[in-house]
Amino acid sequence: MRCEPRRYFLNRVCTDILAFEGDGKIHHSVGDYDYYLEKKQKAEAAAARQSAAIISTNKSAALSRDAATQKSKPRKLSFKEARELEGMEAQIHAVEAEVARIEVCSPIRIFFRTHATQTNQLTASLAAAKEDLAKLYARWEELEAIKAEGSVHKSQVDSQWISKYSSTPG
């Protein structure tokens, strides 16, 4: 087994690893470089398993939702959903602003010197904000689809009613 000189040096000298992993992610790991790589591989494998489980859950939920919507007639937005839809755009703007604020701070060198203890917390906040943003967009699309479906159904009923009762006998 061949050991690279740089890796050997890192393993002998380092007691902590601060890894810049891309996409603004910074990971702090206690231990040498080999231990960091081992933990990273385990985390990637766990993330892959988790994402596969989420994808399969989402597919089954989407299939059941599609089957339910095909069987039942279109529904209108509830009062609560209508209020949620009205405030959704403001929530999205607020979360986008928070993501932008954190991303602007991240690349500044002095930031890491002055806020070194908060780096992991800020990267976690950034990831959470991006996740919240994705959830908000998904919910927004869902509510807009319900709203559009209800309005299409209403216009179809209106046009059927008009054609039925507007024709004069004769």
pLDDT, tens only, 8-27: 887 788 888 888 877 888 87
For the whole prediction, is pTM greater than 0.85?
no
For the residues of 88-102, what is the DSSP string, one character each? HHHHHHHHHHHHHHH
Q: What percent of the chain has pLDDT over 90?
A: 0
Tell me which residue of 132, 130, 89 sits closest to 106, measured CA to CA: 130
Closest of 155, 152, 159, 145 to residue 77, by C-alpha: 145
One-letter amino acid for residue 23 of the chain: D
Helices (H), 23-118: 33-71, 79-105, 109-114
The pLDDT tens digits for 54-90 are: 777 777 776 666 665 565 667 788 888 888 888 888 8
Domains observed in the chain: 1-72 (no CATH), 77-170 (1.10.287.380)
Residue 147, pLDDT score: 81
